[in-house]
Amino acid sequence: MECPHLGSSVCIAPDSAKFPQGSPSSWCCSVCRSNKSPWVCLTCSSVHCGRYVNGHAKKHYEDAQIPMTNHKKTEKQEKVQHTVCMDCSSYSTYCYRCDDFVVNDTKLGLVQKVREHLQNLENSAFTSDRHRKRKLLENSSLNSKLLKVNGSTTALCATGLRNLGNTCFMNAILQSLSNIQQFCCYFKELPAVELRNGKTAGRRTYHTRSQGDNNVSLVEEFRKTLCALWQGSQTAFSPESLFYVVWKIMPNFRGYQQQDAHEFMRYLLDHLHLELQGGFNGVSRSVILQENSNLSASNKCCINGASTVVTAIFGGILQNEVNCLICGTESRKFDPFLDLSLDIPSQFRNKRSKNQESGPMCTLRDCLRSFTDLEELDETELYMCHKCKKKQKSTKKFWIQKLPKVLCLHLKRFHWTAYLRNKVDTYVEFPLRGLDMKCYLLEPENSGPESCLYDLVAVVVHHGSGVGSGHYTAYAAHEGRWFHFNDSTVTLTDEETVGKAKAYILFYVERQARPGADKL
């Protein structure tokens, strides 16, 4: 929004010596000393934490307004308001009086000058620290081994995502999707959409609460975020614009409380699918999809209308068979899916560690078998038999009629007991390569020898005890190497570490035909 308070609130010199030392993104709150979400006041250059840490930036503004509310405002008080501050990580500007992000500047361009100065400070801090980090990386035997490719050492090319306030659930999903190459490449190859025009054209776009829904594009912001990753930048990317679009079109995710990563992934894919069904610069995106030679018509699965890259990559089909136990009538229904949610069998729920000796180990095959095994429906799920003309006891069984190109498996770790949603902390053993899905197919004889084999590409992990708390991270494979994504921190890791993770969401990619496949 265009803020009218910049002239009276932006008073510091762009290169003020009052700024703290070091990297702006690591500055500490002057009250609580937290280095999470630092904001600098553009009136006095003091640094405080954001409202979703301890809220000292907002309190700084509120304390400055007390004399103005109790006494007649003087000319000096009117000029010094402490209402505008800047995020030291993303360099976006916020006005507390407008209660919104700011897109305009002062007549002298002071906001942009402060922004450029903070960026220079960040770059200087990074340059001075880069040599030390490089030495540490080279001295690490693990990293040196992992970085060795074709006899030469390559640089760490992964980019982290800044946590905007309990947004680790979003970061873990974005990093996982960014490593599904066919899906990611489609979005990165889309042409850019210019969302702003007129006097603000060419400026960086900050989506604010005052903008209408017609001014935002989830596909565009998702595209920008994917383009920012894997470009070799050592500075973490802030997905701020994407997060505000999420706020606009997904009301369930407004605010900064912890969210369920699986729920977010489903909402994200569903909304990308719906938007992709619309137009793109006057050209239907479904037409663009049809022209993509890598996504043939035989690989498409339509969900809610025309096929898009979402359904072409993640779309599969289930056959749901229900049999009446009284008359034997069989009912069949075909349901499209983007992911499969698997229960962890109750007999394994006390097995919390891979190395724990007591009891059998739960495997991904156990979860898949539990999903597809014949099940007798209980009294609360009686089937309405059309032949018996009433609800009867019945059995249910799932078959996979069509496998997707990317198989997304969600392990149901959260369940309701009385008034609480508890976490199932059971370790589930899963293969990193060669997951064989042939035995779960409706017609396995019609599938080729390699078409049912899948290799792991990404894992989302929830750390903590509850869905509304804890922390999400992700492991993902990129060009033969495994990375651990923990918000802004990205580290190289190995297959053994990945295999020990207590997976929440698993992403498997269909294996291309090649000899010597290991099977589950």
Residues acting as catalytic residues: 168, 471
Are the C-beta atoms of residues 484 and 428 closer than 8 Å to each other? no
CA 231 to centroid of chain Cα atoms: 18
Distances (CA, A) of 396 to 50, 341, 367, 370, 382: 51, 16, 16, 12, 11
Establish how many alpha carbons lie within 13 A of residue 416's alpha carbon, considering only the half-sphere containing its beta carbon.
Answer: 2
Are the C-beta atoms of residues 159 and 236 closer than 8 Å to each other? yes
**What are phi and psi for residue 222, nearest 5 degrees?**
-65, -40
d(CA 205, CA 18): 29
Question: Which two three-digit tokens encode residue 13?
Answer: 């010199």
CA 275 to centroid of chain Cα atoms: 18
Q: How many residues comprise the chain?
A: 520
d(CA 179, CA 481): 11
d(CA 59, CA 484): 36
What's the angle, vertex CA 315, arms to CA 311 and CA 316, rounded to 5?
155
d(CA 430, CA 508): 11
Q: Which residues are CB-neighbours of 311 under 8 A, at least 6 positions away?
A: 273, 300, 301, 302, 303, 336, 338
> For residue 29, what is the DSSP state?
P
